[in-house]
């Protein structure tokens, strides 16, 4: 039986104040698995309607999930095997057993093996939105509550269409239609432009009836800020080289895959969309000057903060990321392993890349003097980790353990990790997997203000080059990170600034789903993903320490992989549904 965590509780309190309705935590989704609730009975009851909308929120984070892809001997026996982090140059899969992530790594992805979650979950939730909008006028709640619920639903519909768009390009727009199994369901794909325009119009309409931010029991629900931020992301993608006038096929189907002709004004629209979020003045980077970069680490442990614009709510007292990412000695398991290329992308604390001979980088002491975000993103040799005494587990270095990369013990390279690294991003320093006392109230970011600043910087640089406003937006990110000096070098040209912004996105937004999509929309995946990935061995002989980079896996990328294949099971249903090129 599914649990409706935050959303049903929040809506219960909210609507109770509005019309004194009595709502249950176990709502529509859980009841339908064991009862005969119909559309009629659901929407004549306020509590069931509230839970129905809560259920649409439930899947908003599936695309970004770190355990999205699985492997196993049967559909009922599956184990997590990474998410889009392992499908990009950020990380290596946990297990070489078959999974969608491994297929992306090896270039063997095809319509028969690709997971169909983006297609099915998105359309399922879009249909649910349409059901809600159809029935909302007759639900026994007051007009203010109806207006709020309608706006939230329209944002969620735009959210799921945006997921479809970045996976497949243009998809079929349902409008407000609700089809049944007896209907002939049209499957022809709308153009990319039509999809972008529809998402933007839904965001604009929803923003008019939503508060700028959501607070208190409403925290986590769609807001005006979330509407404008989603619009910013969609328009940034639309302006990018993959979609803005770059033909993939040279045929009439190009309009489904992007804009057939380039238009620089699309970058201007993306800039203005990011400016609209910034000008709200409601969102700020989480800054804590006590320790360099600590505001970056602490951000992800905070349930309530002013940097998150839209987030996946989690139950209080969770350790789901610790269970996934922490080393085996902390009873973590099944998380993807960071790659050496990601580690090397982090600059020195002085802001200079490690390839700069004046940076101070020492290959024989590679973690000294680095960007503080590196330690908060990657667990590496000598990272200090909490360790709690847990019944059934042997206590090792209680309260403060040390991970050692030598080839001994469960955490060692080639034993616990195939790259020499574990993921630290978004983990709470005080939470331990399988420890039921030391947990976190963390929620998971889906859009945060740092992304909006980088969206603005990227778009504005494409419009006018590296103006002072572009420098300022990037500087805010680097200053919070703890870099000294945090300013980018003066006098960068447009190309140099573009590369600087791209690397800033890579390290600031690591393990938040962005890298997979960024290298595609920039149309550079043929360089970033056709690589020999690397890991790091650390060996000790007395006081002597040596560092050895080793090969992990040869990655392969085909041009077709700029977009996802539509699931073969869906393409087989209708000749109207045209498969993406190369599949």
Cα(580)–Cα(583) distance, integer angstroms: 6
Which residues does 1 contact at the CB level (< 8 Å), separation at least 6? 26, 30, 33, 34
Cross-strand bridge partners of residue 548: 537
Quick check: helix, strand or coil at residue 507?
Answer: helix
Cβ neighbourhood burial of 371 (10 Å; 0-12, 13-18, 19+): buried
Q: What is the pLDDT of residue 37?
A: 67
The answer to whether 92 and 472 are in contact (CB under 8 A) is no
The token duo for 325 is: 């990412």
Q: What is the pLDDT of residue 23?
A: 33
The answer to whether 172 and 188 are in contact (CB under 8 A) is yes
Q: What is the pLDDT of residues 115-134, one digit of tens each?
A: 999 999 999 999 999 999 99
- Give the number of other Cβ atoms within 10 Å of residue 109's Cβ: 23
The token duo for 214 is: 């959501």
Q: What is the pLDDT of residue 430?
A: 85
Angle among Cα 349, 352, 354 to the nearest 5 degrees reads: 95
- Among 512, 478, 455, 162, smallest CA distance to 311 is for 512
φ, ψ (nearest 5 deg) of residue 70: -135, 165
Q: What is the pLDDT of residue 171?
A: 97
- Among 155, 235, 228, 229, smallest CA distance to 195 is for 235
Q: What is the pLDDT of residue 229?
A: 98
Q: Regarding the domain delimited by 73-123+151-174+189-583, which CATH topology (the fold level of the hierarchy) does it fall under? A: 1.25.40
Angle among Cα 550, 325, 316 to the nearest 5 degrees reads: 165
- Among 563, 533, 554, smallest CA distance to 91 is for 533
- Give the number of other Cβ atoms within 10 Å of residue 15's Cβ: 22
Helix, strand, coil in percent for the chain, rounding step 5:
40, 10, 50
Q: What is the pLDDT of residues 385-428, one digit of tens each?
A: 766 554 544 333 322 234 555 567 788 888 889 999 999 999 99
Q: What is the pLDDT of residue 404?
A: 54
Q: What is the pLDDT of residue 315?
A: 93
End-to-end Cα separation, the chain, in angstroms? 38
Cα(207)–Cα(223) distance, integer angstroms: 7
Q: What is the pLDDT of residue 407?
A: 64
Residues in the chain predicted with pLDDT less than 50, given as ranges, are 1-35, 390, 392-402
Quick check: helix, strand or coil at residue 500?
Answer: helix
Cα(441)–Cα(431) distance, integer angstroms: 10
Measured CA to CA in angstroms, residue 146 lies from 141, 152, 183, 200, 577 at distances of 7, 10, 29, 22, 35
Query: For the whole model, what pTM was predicted?
Result: 0.91
Cross-strand bridge partners of residue 43: none
Q: What is the pLDDT of residue 2?
A: 36
Cross-strand bridge partners of residue 91: 338
The answer to whether 354 and 361 are in contact (CB under 8 A) is yes
Q: Give the HSE-up count for residue 340: Cα atoms under 13 Å, Cβ half-sphere.
A: 22
Which residues does 422 contact at the CB level (< 8 Å), separation at least 6? 325, 326, 327, 332, 335, 337, 338, 378, 379, 380, 403, 411, 416
Cα(322)–Cα(75) distance, integer angstroms: 25
Cα(127)–Cα(117) distance, integer angstroms: 15
User: How would DSSP label each residue in 87-119?
Assistant: TTTTEE-S-SS--HHHHHHHT---TTTS--HHH
Q: What is the pLDDT of residue 393?
A: 42
Q: What is the pLDDT of residue 329?
A: 83
Give 288-294's long-range contacts (Cβ < 8 A, gap of 24+): 291/372, 291/482, 292/349, 292/372, 292/481, 292/482, 292/484, 293/371, 293/372, 293/373, 293/376, 293/480, 293/481, 293/482, 294/372, 294/482
**How far from the centroid of its chain's Cα atoms is residue 355's Cα?**
29
Q: What is the pLDDT of residues 51-94, one digit of tens each?
A: 999 999 999 999 999 999 998 888 888 889 999 999 999 999 99
φ, ψ (nearest 5 deg) of residue 160: -70, -35
Which residues does 391 contact at the CB level (< 8 Å), separation at least 6? none
Which residues does 368 contact at the CB level (< 8 Å), separation at least 6? 362
């Amino acid at each position: 039986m599914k649990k409706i965590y935050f959303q049903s509780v929040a809506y219960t309190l909210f609507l109770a104040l509005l019309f004194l309705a009595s709502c249950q935590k176990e709502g529509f989704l859980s009841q339908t698995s064991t009862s005969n609730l119909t559309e009629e009975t659901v929407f004549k009851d306020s509590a069931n309607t509230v839970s129905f909308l809560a259920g649409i929120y439930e899947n908003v984070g599936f695309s970004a999930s770190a355990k999205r892809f699985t492997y196993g001997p049967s559909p009922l026996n599956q184990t997590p095997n990474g998410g889009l982090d392992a499908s990009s140059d950020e990380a290596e899969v946990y297990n070489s057993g078959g999974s969608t992530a491994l297929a992306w790594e090896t270039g063997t992805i095809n319509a028969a093996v690709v997971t169909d979650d983006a297609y099915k979950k998105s359309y399922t939730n879009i249909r649910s939105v349409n059901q809600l909008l159809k029935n909302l006028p007759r639900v026994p709640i007051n007009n203010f509550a109806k207006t709020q619920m309608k706006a939230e639903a329209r944002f969620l519909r735009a959210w799921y269409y945006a997921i479809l768009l970045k996976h497949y390009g243009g998809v079929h727009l349902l409008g407000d239609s609700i089809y049944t199994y007896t209907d002939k369901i049209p499957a022809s794909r709308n153009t990319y432009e039509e999809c972008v325009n529809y998402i933007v119009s839904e965001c604009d309409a929803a923003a008019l009836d939503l508060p700028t931010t959501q607070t208190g029991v409403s925290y986590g629900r769609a807001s005006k800020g979330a509407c404008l931020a989603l619009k910013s992301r969609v328009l940034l993608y639309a302006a990018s080289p993959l979609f803005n006038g770059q033909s993939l096929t040279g045929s009439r189907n190009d309009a489904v895959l992007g804009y057939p002709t380039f238009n620089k004004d699309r970058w201007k629209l993306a800039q203005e969309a990011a400016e609209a979020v910034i000008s709200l003045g409601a969102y700020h980077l989480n800054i804590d000057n006590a320790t360099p970069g600590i505001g970056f680490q602490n951000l992800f442990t905070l349930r309530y903060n002013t940097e998150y614009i839209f987030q996946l709510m989690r139950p209080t007292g969770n350790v789901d990321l610790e269970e996934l990412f922490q080393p085996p000695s902390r009873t973590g398991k099944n998380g993807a392993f960071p790659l050496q290329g990601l580690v090397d992308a982090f600059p020195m604390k002085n802001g200079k890349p490690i390839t700069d001979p004046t940076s101070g980088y020492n290959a024989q002491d590679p973690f000294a003097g680095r960007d503080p975000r590196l330690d908060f993103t990657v667990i590496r040799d000598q990272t200090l980790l909490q360790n709690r005494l847990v019944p059934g587990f042997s206590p090792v270095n209680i309260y403060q353990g040390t991970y050692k990369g030598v080839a001994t013990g469960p955490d060692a390279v080639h034993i616990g990790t195939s790259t020499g690294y574990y993921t630290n991003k978004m983990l709470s320093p005080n939470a331990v997997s399988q420890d039921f006392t030391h947990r976190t109230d963390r929620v998971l970011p889906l859009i945060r203000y740092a992304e909006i600043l980088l969206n603005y910087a990227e778009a504005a640089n494409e419009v006018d080059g590296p103006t002072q406003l572009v420098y300022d937006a990037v500087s805010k990110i680097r200053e919070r990170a703890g870099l000294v000096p945090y300013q980018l070098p003066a006098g960068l040209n447009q190309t140099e600034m573009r590369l600087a912004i791209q690397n800033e996105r890579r390290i600031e937004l690591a393990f938040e789903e962005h890298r997979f999509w960024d290298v595609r929309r920039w149309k550079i995946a043929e360089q970033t993903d056709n690589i020999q990935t690397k890991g790091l061995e650390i060996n000790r002989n007395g006081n002597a320490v040596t560092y050895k980079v080793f090969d992990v896996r040869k990655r392969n990328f085909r041009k077709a992989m700029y977009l996802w294949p539509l699931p073969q099971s869906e393409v087989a249903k209708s000749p109207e549904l045209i498969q993406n090129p190369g599949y």
